[in-house]
Chains A and B, each alone.
Chain A
């Protein structure tokens, strides 16, 4: 009898143990989450949490392709109108039904979040009119044809028109207004420490495997890895490249990787006659700015050994590139290959351009923004020095770097660009279009590259509703900008996650860490 009982209870234990383990998931995030209000600050770590609690009209899959979200379908009914058909029977966490009124409420709230340091108006300002046709149909009108409407709607989280009415950021942080339709319900937000969520058992989509999820905020890289090694968390994001080899070897751990839509590039002052950090080899400012000459820019590109950057500095966590988007994303150009490493060719081009002995240059870079940013800058400086361009590196915190860069205080800078929309118009518009305040073009064009031909093609693309035609135009614009070397693209980062055995993840190219995409194994 005793033995039977023992056998029974151990069977029970075996049967129960995995379920108990599977019910809870602790994940360490690498960046601070500063607010639960999904419309307050357009910042990846905040958006990442919002995506658990709230849904969007259009969602994105792991490859950033658009998928039905709260909208089941959408189409352009005329040049200037998009119609979204909403999913029926979706309920907010408080039990109220999701309807077109919530969509309109959300779009109205976006420009009116007080003190927002980075509002989502980027994605809502094109809408001139919102029409509720019936509770399950919304039409959004624009002044001009606007093909990116569905893409833009994949960035805006829908809040409840009841719970979020008049809500402040504090109301979201306390959970009072944090009522969405998403796969998880809000439980607790402890600033600087953790965010706790519970499964939404009435979710309209696939149910997450975890009853409870706890996101721990561990910003220090070695500590995050230690927490995984010790088993205090079961998954981490932003695995530091220094630990890749060790984690890959461990039988206890698994690595998940995917090429990111973030491209690392060099911006060059290709506009001004004189540039502040271009000198002769003795350090005297040059009368003429050599970076305006496309041959010099080509020489710089040829002098860089991208494969070495990827293998040595990035420990393999990057992919060399010769364009803005990685393979598989909208606007990727199959014919544009990464520039081959060719120091001889670089020297020849420099001589042709009238700089047989090279010149002096300072490369400015942030030192706390991108993966291994300062080391990459140092490596590039050495490669350039080898072909005669004596390059000095000046690395600084991002808070200083971006302020000075936007004031055009630099000549040559290392920057990264993650395309939030997941398609090529985002970097083309911001980095390569001619700087134009009135049109809102070239806002991050810190080298002031300008080619009217590229501008014209891009403008055409931005108004082309037909997807196939638009992609061809974006490819064409990319081709022009890359031939001019408006920016010198280096590589796409690889996004990395590590988990303990028993948990698997679908790596996403938009750098999101979604609890509902972790699954027990």
Chain B
């Protein structure tokens, strides 16, 4: 097991290196950050001075080499617009995003798996059909539109929930957390619902398909013939067998929710890191873009690793390679 994890981490170093190179070349190709950062009233001498001060007058490979050297020391550079280390900027915003992502995954899992089971057990009833029709809507409605509709209905017309932003935070182990208070939950409800909608639909369909497949299997029929109640068959045998694809998807989707909650964060003015990324791209704040994507790559690597390990726990037949004694 340890050798497996070590090999995985080594591979991930290579992925990080390739990623940083790609982002560097990509941002360089888009344009010169100075042209958008500097106040238009500045004259040529000032533009040249700023370009030199930020090291942007150097050839690309020199800039990349400088970056690599400090990156190896753990320094990914300072944000051009905020003048604080890019990593710190991202980590400051991360709790908000993780909170939002966690809330939306909870909504997706708590509603998605039971609804999917229901739809799988009664595929032809009106309940099953309604659930499936709803999941199609969840897939196909654009996030930004649903977000605005949620705001218009629940905040503007009904006045039940706050329009935007994050509730008051309390520090837990040094991280600012907002969902421990009622006010914080009120704030997170709309954005997390908006973010959950797509995942919810995905989970419903996945669970339904898995359930239908499992119900036709011999072990289910055998269990029924043995006289086990349907309730026990579903909750123990069926559920356990359909969990593997669901765990994979939940894991990967959790990563993508954290990494790409951009639209929801922008619409709900949620001070997370997705909004930071889009703002940074708009002003070509290269250190932040690079650091962000590196963190995301790292996060996906870790999530994949966790999912692999979870498999072996869920299914005794799966053994992670290299774990043999």
Q: Which residues of A line the B interface, CB within 8 A?
A: 32, 34-35, 37, 40-43, 114-119, 121-122, 125, 168-170, 173, 190-194, 216-220, 222-223, 226-227, 229-232, 368, 397-400, 402-406, 417-418, 420-421, 426, 430, 437, 440-441, 443-444
Q: Which residues of B line the A interface, CB within 8 A?
A: 30-47, 49-50, 53-54, 78, 80-84, 89, 92-93, 148, 151-152, 155-156, 159, 162-166, 266-269, 271-272, 275-276, 279, 281-284
**Min CB–CB distance A47 → chain B (angstroms):** 10
Which residues on B sit within 8 Å (CB–CB) of A43? 39, 81
Task: Knowing A232-B164, A426-B41, A443-B44, say if A169 contacts B83 (CB, 8 Å).
Answer: yes
**Min CB–CB distance B43 → chain A (angstroms):** 3
Which residues on A sit within 8 Å (CB–CB) of B275? 192, 219
Closest to B263 in A: A220
Closest to B148 in A: A222
**Min CB–CB distance B289 → chain A (angstroms):** 11
Q: With A and B bound together, what is the CA distance between A437 and B47 in angstroms?
A: 10
Partner of A430 from the list B41, B54, B271 (CB cut-off 8 Å) is B41
Residues A403 and B269 in contact, CB atoms below 8 Å apart: no
Q: With A and B bound together, what is the CA distance between A399 and B279 in angstroms?
A: 11
Residues B165 and A116 in contact, CB atoms below 8 Å apart: no
Residues A117 and B162 in contact, CB atoms below 8 Å apart: no
Q: With A and B bound together, what is the CA distance between A232 and B44 in angstroms?
A: 44
**Min CB–CB distance B83 → chain A (angstroms):** 4
Residues A116 and B276 in contact, CB atoms below 8 Å apart: no
Task: Knowing A117-B37, A226-B151, A402-B36, say if A441 contacts B279 (CB, 8 Å).
Answer: no
**Min CB–CB distance A502 → chain B (angstroms):** 18
Which residues on A sit within 8 Å (CB–CB) of B279? 32, 192, 219
Residues B164 and A118 in contact, CB atoms below 8 Å apart: no
Closest to B152 in A: A226
Which residues on B sit within 8 Å (CB–CB) of A193? 165-166, 269, 271
Partner of B45 from the list A229, A368, A437 (CB cut-off 8 Å) is A437
Residues B38 and A117 in contact, CB atoms below 8 Å apart: yes
Q: With A and B bound together, what is the CA distance between A66 and B65 in angstroms?
A: 49
Q: With A and B bound together, what is the CA distance between A117 and B286 in angstroms?
A: 13
Which residues on A sit within 8 Å (CB–CB) of B166? 193
Q: With A and B bound together, what is the CA distance between A491 and B39 in angstroms?
A: 22
Contacts A114-B83, A219-B279 aside, 13 further interface pairs with beta carbons under 8 A come to A34-B81, A116-B53, A118-B39, A118-B50, A125-B46, A191-B271, A218-B165, A232-B155, A232-B165, A399-B36, A417-B40, A418-B40, A443-B47
Residues B159 and A192 in contact, CB atoms below 8 Å apart: no
Number of A-B contacts (CB under 8 A): 167
Task: Knowing A37-B83, A121-B46, A440-B43, say if A223 contacts B31 (CB, 8 Å).
Answer: no
Q: With A and B bound together, what is the CA distance between A37 and B281 in angstroms?
A: 22
Residues B44 and A440 in contact, CB atoms below 8 Å apart: yes
Task: Knowing A116-B53, A217-B269, A223-B151, say if A400 contacts B30 (CB, 8 Å).
Answer: yes
Which residues on B sit within 8 Å (CB–CB) of A35? 81-83
Q: With A and B bound together, what is the CA distance between A115 and B56 in angstroms?
A: 12
Which residues on A sit within 8 Å (CB–CB) of B92? 191
Residues A118 and B42 in contact, CB atoms below 8 Å apart: yes
Residues A227 and B44 in contact, CB atoms below 8 Å apart: no
Which residues on A sit within 8 Å (CB–CB) of B148? 222-223, 226
Q: With A and B bound together, what is the CA distance between A40 and B43 in angstroms?
A: 17
Which residues on B sit within 8 Å (CB–CB) of A405? 35
Q: With A and B bound together, what is the CA distance between A403 and B166 in angstroms?
A: 36
Q: With A and B bound together, what is the CA distance between A493 and B67 in angstroms?
A: 42
Name, among B40, B78, B148, the residue most crowded by chain A CB atoms within 10 Å (CB to CB): B40
Residues B156 and A216 in contact, CB atoms below 8 Å apart: no
Could you jot down 12 A-B contacts, CB within 8 Å?
A: A41-B37, A41-B83, A118-B42, A169-B82, A170-B83, A192-B93, A192-B271, A219-B269, A220-B266, A223-B269, A232-B162, A232-B165
Residues B46 and A191 in contact, CB atoms below 8 Å apart: no
Residues B39 and A226 in contact, CB atoms below 8 Å apart: no
Q: With A and B bound together, what is the CA distance between A191 and B96 in angstroms?
A: 12
Closest to B42 in A: A122
Closest to B43 in A: A440
Q: With A and B bound together, what is the CA distance between A426 and B268 in angstroms?
A: 38
Residues B53 and A223 in contact, CB atoms below 8 Å apart: no
Q: With A and B bound together, what is the CA distance between A175 and B269 in angstroms?
A: 23
**Min CB–CB distance B141 → chain A (angstroms):** 16
Q: With A and B bound together, what is the CA distance between A404 and B35 in angstroms?
A: 9
Which residues on A sit within 8 Å (CB–CB) of B83? 35, 37, 40-41, 114-116, 168-170
